[in-house]
């Protein structure tokens, strides 16, 4: 790989130099008021990115996976029933975590490439007249397949069933890159991480809790120590953590939020949509298809691109790395070897994306795919020249 080339994996994403420098700081006393000047602006900023007025924000030294565990262990008890759809590798992993914690998961098997089946959720929730289901899990953006789901529709399903279950949303590859509305969608726990839309290294699990989810913490009995939000709250009240905080990453997150808000949150979303649309124009020009089955579920942060039957898509990623020093994402789970992924989130511009498309084309031609060199780049160029 080459440090000079941008990466086009779905995370960790490219890190702007000012953010890297912000993380690179002298040691401070993390129990001093100086840390509080980093901590509290970050908590307030994350709340704004979630479009919430009242969410309780918690930031743990971890990743999105730790955020999933924070959501579950702080709100549920062993044997509690959870409703979830499996439509990709990351929804599968959250389901697996639930099962390992002794939760009773009702799984709605959903074809990979499709969004969450809100209509099926509604049917199941209406049938649950004893309200045994405590939580509905929803993966906003399935990173393995490049599929975005309609979280507002999932909330409508809960409301139509008049069901009190909490709504937990995995927004790891959407928050900070795509529109997310914590309050409007009635989200109870939102989970993300530092290494995607926030343009930082991996290392922070960023979680928002509603009042309802916060109240559930008092009766939940799943074991928790490191991820106990009550301990974290006590630390925050004293400008501290219950253990040593990742000060450099927190300082980087403070600057990341400032950069996002300087650009304008809606402008960030529009930029991601524009860049993603250019990628989709290139895919069309190549004569290939996305794993996502229809435009309403196309992700603006990652595209999973199907290759012809019998072709090993992983070879594209391998050759790009070895010959051209550029990183793309491999297929995972059911789509391993069938797709390669282009991440287009975080710190990215039209021009950077064109470099990735150009390398992808060269690799596919190198490997004998029937693609005209320059076709996808030209299609993306034409869109970027006129797209808004």
343-377 pLDDT per residue, tens: 999 999 999 999 999 999 999 999 999 999 999 99
Q: Is residue 9 part of a domain?
A: no
**Which CATH number do you get for residue 37?**
3.40.640.10
Same domain, 80 and 215: yes
Provide mean pLDDT across the span 7-31.
94
Is the pLDDT reported for residue 3 higher than 90? no
Same domain, 96 and 160: yes
pLDDT at 388: 62
Same domain, 173 and 275: no
Please tell me whether the peptide bond between 229 and the residue prior to it is cis, using omega within 30 degrees of 0. Answer: no
Same domain, 270 and 238: no
Domain boundary among 208, 238, 261: 261
Same domain, 176 and 50: yes
Same domain, 275 and 208: no
Q: Is residue 7 part of a domain?
A: no
Domain membership of residue 280 as a residue range: 265-386
32-48 pLDDT per residue, tens: 889 999 999 999 999 99
Same domain, 85 and 158: yes
Is the pLDDT reported for residue 97 higher than 70? yes
Same domain, 227 and 343: no
Helix axes 265-286, 247-263, angle to 10 degrees: 80
Same domain, 382 and 247: no
Q: Is residue 158 part of a domain?
A: yes
Same domain, 120 and 156: yes
Same domain, 134 and 218: yes
The token pair at 343 is 């991440």
Domain boundary among 261, 278, 311: 261
Same domain, 246 and 275: no
Q: Is residue 215 part of a domain?
A: yes
- What predicted TM-score, i.e. pTM, was given to this entire model? 0.96
Q: Is residue 10 part of a domain?
A: no
CB distance 313 to 337 below 8 Å: yes
Domain boundary among 219, 242, 261: 261
Of all residues in the chain, the percent with pLDDT exceeding 70 is 99
pLDDT at 387: 72
CB distance 266 to 357 below 8 Å: no
Cross-strand bridge partners of residue 114: 112
């Amino acid at each position: 790989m080459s440090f000079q080339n941008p990466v086009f994996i779905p995370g960790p994403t490219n890190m702007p130099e000012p953010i890297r420098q912000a993380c690179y700081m002298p040691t401070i006393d993390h129990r001093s008021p100086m840390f509080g000047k980093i901590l509290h602006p970050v908590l307030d900023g994350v709340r704004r990115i979630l479009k919430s007025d009242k969410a309780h924000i918690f930031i743990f030294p971890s990743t999105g996976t730790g955020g999933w565990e924070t959501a579950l262990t702080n709100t549920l008890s062993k044997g509690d029933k959870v409703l979830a759809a499996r439509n990709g590798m990351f929804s599968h992993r959250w389901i697996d975590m639930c099962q390992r914690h002794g939760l009773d998961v009702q799984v709605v098997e959903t074809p990979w490439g499709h969004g969450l089946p809100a209509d099926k959720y509604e049917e199941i929730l209406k049938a649950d007249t004893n309200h045994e289901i405590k939580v509905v899990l929803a993966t906003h953006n399935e990173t393995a397949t490049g599929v975005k789901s309609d979280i507002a529709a999932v909330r409508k399903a809960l409301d139509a069933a008049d069901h009190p279950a909490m709504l937990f949303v995995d927004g790891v590859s959407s928050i900070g890159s795509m529109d997310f509305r914590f309050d409007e969608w009635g989200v109870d726990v939102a989970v993300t991480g530092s290494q995607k839309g926030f343009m930082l290294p991996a290392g922070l699990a960023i979680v928002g809790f509603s009042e309802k989810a916060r109240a559930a913490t008092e009766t939940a009995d799943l074991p928790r120590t490191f991820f106990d939000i009550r301990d974290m709250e006590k630390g925050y009240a004293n400008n501290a953590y219950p253990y040593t905080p990742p000060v450099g990453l927190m300082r980087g997150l403070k600057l990341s939020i400032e950069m996002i808000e300087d650009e304008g949150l809606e402008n960030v979303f529009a930029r991601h949509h524009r860049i993603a649309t250019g990628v989709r124009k290139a895919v069309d020009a190549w004569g290939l298809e996305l794993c996502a089955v229809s435009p309403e579920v196309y992700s603006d942060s990652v595209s999973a691109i199907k290759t012809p039957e019998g072709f090993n898509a992983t070879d594209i990623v391998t050759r790009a790395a070895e010959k051209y020093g550029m990183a793309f994402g491999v297929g995972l789970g059911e789509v391993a070897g069938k797709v390669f992924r282009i991440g287009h989130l975080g710190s990215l511009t039209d021009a950077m994306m064109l470099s990735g498309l150009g390398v992808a084309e060269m690799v596919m031609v190198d490997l004998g795919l029937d693609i005209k060199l320059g076709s996808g780049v030209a299609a993306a160029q034409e869109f970027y020249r006129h797209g808004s």
